[in-house]
Amino acid sequence: MTTIEKLFVLTIGALIFAGFSPSLAHAQNPDNGKLVWEEQSNCKNCHGDMGQGKWSGPLVGSEKTADEWIEQVRTPKRAMPAFSAEQISDDQIRDVFAYMATLPPPPEDFEFMPMDPGLAADAHPGQVLLAQKRCAACHSTDGPIKGFIKRAEMPTVEGVIKQVRTPFKYMPAFNAEQVSDEELAQIADFVTQQVSAQMAPATLPTSGGTPPNPWPLALMLAGVAAVAGGFALRGFVLRR
């Protein structure tokens, strides 16, 4: 086989390999990655607006490959929840990877968000867990109360566990090693208290309070009687 023939075979082989290799088949697009990062994902809630780190570590300056990013997103290690391909595709992850490469490195003095950001010493255990499990990155330390209030619905332990294990829409899934059912029950109890306080009806006046002032009503009735008497007197005079 001549040198030209060898080069031809190698070229064809490389093209075939590229066609079957996802990382080579998709040209990474940092502009699309910026769009995904800013508008189509919740990644920045944990990793910071510019990927510099916040509740979770920085993504800018990462030494991992795009394929390693995909593996981490699908089967994450430690506290990070898993995202499905329906929530963010492999190609979108590669684009975000390319976008992060265009941003400046993280600050040298980077520090994670504290696990109890401004919570009272006697804070409800469920509220503490919202911070420790990083749920607060998306829901704040008050928990996901807005949706329940909007639907006029009280949360339940079963419902919270189901949503965390098999979430719908954009929320990622947390496994039992990341947050246990017992911990979710504490979170549900705290969220229930929050929703209940927000949905409570306005306080009505209680019996036994200060009686109303009778004089305004008496004066009004006296005025009505005077007007009626005036009309009666006028009618009597006109008939004479």
Please determine, for residue 201, whether its predicted confidence score (pLDDT) is greater than 90: no
Q: How many CA atoms lie within 13 A of 100 on its CB side?
A: 26
pLDDT of residue 97: 97
pLDDT digits (tens, 9 = 90+) for 126-146: 999 999 999 999 999 999 999
Band (44; pLDDT cuts 50, 70, 90): very high
pLDDT of residue 17: 46
Please determine, for residue 117, whether its predicted confidence score (pLDDT) is greater than 90: no
Residues 25, 18 contacting (CB under 8 angstroms): yes
Estimate the crossing angle of helix 66-74 against helix 90-100, to 10 degrees. Answer: 130
Q: Both tokens of residue 138?
A: 């998306």
List the chain domain ranges: 30-102, 125-199
- Fold of the domain built from segment(s) 30-102: Cytochrome Bc1 Complex; Chain D, domain 2 (1.10.760)
Domain 125-199, CATH among 1.10.760.10, 3.30.870.10, 3.90.226.10, 3.40.309.10: 1.10.760.10
